[in-house]
Amino acid sequence: MLLGSKFQAFMEASPVSVMVRGTLERILHPETVNQLFIDNAVSQYTLKITFAQCVQIMDAVVFKLEPSVGAWVQNNGHTLSATRQSLYEKLQRIEPAVSAALVHHSGVELLTCAQNMKRAPKAGLPGFRLRVLDGNHLTGTEHRLKGLRGTRAAALPGQALVLYDPRYDLITDTIPCEDAYSQERALLDQVVPLIARKDCVIADRNFCTTGFLFGLWRRNGYFVIRQHASTLTYETVGKARRAGKDGLGRQLKEQSLRMTDRATGETMLVRRITIPLRAPNKKGEKELYVLTNLPAEKASACLVADLYAKRWTIETAFQQLTQDLRCEIDTLAYPRAALLGFCLACVAYNAVSLVKAAIRATQEKNFVEEKLSMYYLTLDVARVTGGMEIAIPKEEWTIFRRMSQPEFLATIIDLANRIRPEKYTKHKRGPKKKQPKKTSGKRFHHVSTARVLAGKQ
């Protein structure tokens, strides 16, 4: 163990907190963060407050160590070399490209670590890298800005497209957008350059456009995407044929389509998998059509249907970002500040994912997938980190930056071996009970709980 005696008490009481804090120290140390700012900022520059300081402050808010930026300043304002107002002005001008660079950096750094962990999840599609694409709209903020005070409508600070690696549970890239009303498809041109050879993008039909699919194809990428009814130019090739049954016993069909890019005249032959629904959806549709350019010898129709179902894994990630980490901070009304908060929550999510990978490597089989509670894990981190920051000087944490990757992984694994699994185990509830019929409350506006319980007894 490379950590000194000052870490000992926290390694025994809350090894998870040391793991998360050490991982963030490794990927977000000031020199790297400030260099990301220099490399990606276009018009903004550093005067008194560095980008690394902004990241440190927002990190505390995301992990719920502080309830707001203002609360952080109240407790730690003496460490800033500028005023509170200067800090707010710095946050509201952080360019989206800089925030996105933080997420990309964390995804690259932690992916190599996760790949070297034991018991890594099996590849969903051997020989390819799955990347789930979806959009996330940030919820409404408080009406703090002058222009928002005259409306009761929700003030939406922005949105982001997210690329997620379901195998290693990492958010690898984000495309932040300040305009919450902007069409998600308008951001797809920024997604295509992020796709590498043999990447396979899984997405819903909102992203099914000719330009996007041909863009992936030109980069030697692949896709599993639900067909949109009106955004493609194509013709069917041959008849639909039976293609086996999926895991739910539904009879699948497969047919070839020849798609055409009118702008360039290029054509592409793709496979269309028809998935019957057990019952019509809200739009009355009885079947789903999923398009893919994966070769049949690499991915059967049944596998394609299973891969398309994996798009829901990103919804779980979004839920954890919202509930367990504060990706939506309602006091950050300026779009760029809100998007920085969201991107830092993605970085924090990645740090926790590495912790989960270490737990998977050391605890009983399937513990992470079936029993681990993200709520209790992040709660323990928030509860302990404040005291840990006081007890362990900042300079002591720099050891995580100086470690080689094998040393870092050995340290994380050693800490994971010290975890008491029962502290972070879910308590699954039983089946939901049918709700009783409720009175309106118009005549009696309140009731005595004690009397109601006594009456039931």
pLDDT tens digits, residue range 199-221?
999 998 889 999 999 999 999 99
Q: Is the pLDDT of residue 105 over 90?
A: yes
What pLDDT shows up at residue 320? 72
pLDDT digits (tens, 9 = 90+) for 40-88: 988 887 778 888 888 888 888 877 777 788 888 888 778 887 888 888 8
Q: Is 214 contained in some domain?
A: no
pLDDT digits (tens, 9 = 90+) for 245-257: 887 788 888 889 9
> What is the total count of domains within the chain?
1
What pLDDT shows up at residue 218? 93
What pLDDT shows up at residue 223? 94
Q: Is the pLDDT of residue 164 over 80?
A: yes
What pLDDT shows up at residue 414? 92
Q: Is the pLDDT of residue 93 over 60?
A: yes
Rounded to an integer, the average pLDDT of 162-187 is 91
What pLDDT shows up at residue 43? 83
Rounded to an integer, the average pLDDT of 274-279 is 84
Q: Is the pLDDT of residue 154 over 90?
A: no
Q: According to the per-residue pLDDT averaged within each range, which of 134-143, 295-304, 317-326, 426-435 is highest?
A: 295-304
Q: Which residue has the higher pLDDT, 330 or 288?
A: 288
What pLDDT shows up at residue 345? 87
The first and second tokens of residue 325, run together, are: 């980490």
Band the pLDDT of 330: cuts 50, 70, 90. low
What pLDDT shows up at residue 1? 58
Strands 222-226 and 199-203: parallel
Rounded to an integer, the average pLDDT of 414-418 is 92
Q: Is 228 contained in some domain?
A: no
Q: Is 262 contained in some domain?
A: no
Q: Is 1 contained in some domain?
A: yes
What pLDDT shows up at residue 326? 61
Q: Is the pLDDT of residue 441 over 70?
A: yes
Band the pLDDT of 151: cuts 50, 70, 90. confident
Average pLDDT, the chain: 86
What pLDDT shows up at residue 370? 86
Rounded to an integer, the average pLDDT of 415-419 is 91
What pLDDT shows up at residue 103? 94
What pLDDT shows up at residue 324? 64
Confidence (pTM): 0.87
Q: Could you tell me the residue range of the domain that residue 355 belongs to?
A: 1-198+298-427
What pLDDT shows up at residue 456? 63
What pLDDT shows up at residue 394? 84
Q: Is 455 contained in some domain?
A: no
Q: Is the pLDDT of residue 149 over 90?
A: no
Q: Which of 23-37, 257-271, 368-382, 431-445 has the lowest mean pLDDT?
A: 431-445
What pLDDT shows up at residue 202? 93
Q: Is the pLDDT of residue 276 over 90?
A: no
Q: Is 436 contained in some domain?
A: no
Q: Is the pLDDT of residue 328 over 70?
A: no
pLDDT digits (tens, 9 = 90+) for 339-390: 998 898 889 889 989 999 999 999 888 888 888 888 888 888 888 888 888 8
Q: Is 271 contained in some domain?
A: no
Q: Is 318 contained in some domain?
A: yes
